[in-house]
Amino acid sequence: MILVDAETGEEVEPVIVDAATGHRLDDSEAYVFAAGPAATGGMLARYGGSAPGPREARDPRDVF
């Protein structure tokens, strides 16, 4: 099964974006999960007590 435009029949590529910025969320290096304000003790233990701060920018030429 594929998703297509109802009028043209052309296949579309569904993506998830940040509504505020329009940035795609498929960059696994740029986005992480964090414990929210209603997090249980287990969630806090797994994800930490607060949202992470900004990470230091990584040079895209670095090779892992």
Q: What is the pLDDT of residues 7-58, one digit of tens each?
A: 999 999 999 998 998 888 887 778 888 888 888 888 888 887 655 556 555 5
Question: Exposure pattern of 8-43 as b/e (b: 16+ CB <10 Å)?
Answer: eeeeeeeeeeeeeeeeeeeeeeeeeeebeeebeeee
pLDDT for 11 equals 98
Residues 11-23 have pLDDT tens digits of 999 999 989 988 8
Q: What is the C-alpha separation between 12 and 59, in angstroms, rounded? A: 32
